[in-house]
């Protein structure tokens, strides 16, 4: 298992360059972190929960 890091402790993507990164959650912070690590050369995977958004 690799490093686990809460978004509160995230500073920048440099330590994750060239690695596979699992981002749990797709709120604003999760989306920004996923984009940041992707732009730094990491391979992000997003894990989100299913919601029932019926009208």
Tell the residue number behind the tokens 């699992």, with chain if given.
22
Q: Is residue 3 part of a domain?
A: no
With cut-offs at 50, 70 and 90, classify the pLDDT of residue 49: confident
Burial 29-49 (b: 16+ CB within 10 A, else e): ebeebbebbeebebebeeeee
Q: Is residue 25 part of a domain?
A: yes
Q: Is residue 1 part of a domain?
A: no
The tokens of 22 are what? 């699992």
* Structural domain boundaries, residue 22: 18-49
Q: Is residue 9 part of a domain?
A: no
What is the pLDDT at residue 35? Answer: 97
With cut-offs at 50, 70 and 90, classify the pLDDT of residue 54: confident
Q: Is residue 6 part of a domain?
A: no
Q: Is residue 36 part of a domain?
A: yes
Q: Are 17 and 40 in contact (CB under 8 A)?
A: yes
Domain count, the chain: 1
- 5-43 pLDDT, tens per residue? 999 999 999 999 999 999 999 899 999 999 999 999 999
Greater model confidence, 45 or 49: 45
């Amino acid at each position: 298992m690799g490093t686990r890091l809460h978004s509160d402790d995230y500073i920048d993507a440099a330590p994750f360059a060239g690695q596979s990164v699992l981002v749990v959650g797709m709120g604003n912070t999760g989306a920004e972190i996923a984009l940041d690590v992707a732009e730094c050369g990491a391979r992000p995977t997003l894990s989100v929960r299913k919601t029932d958004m019926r009208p």
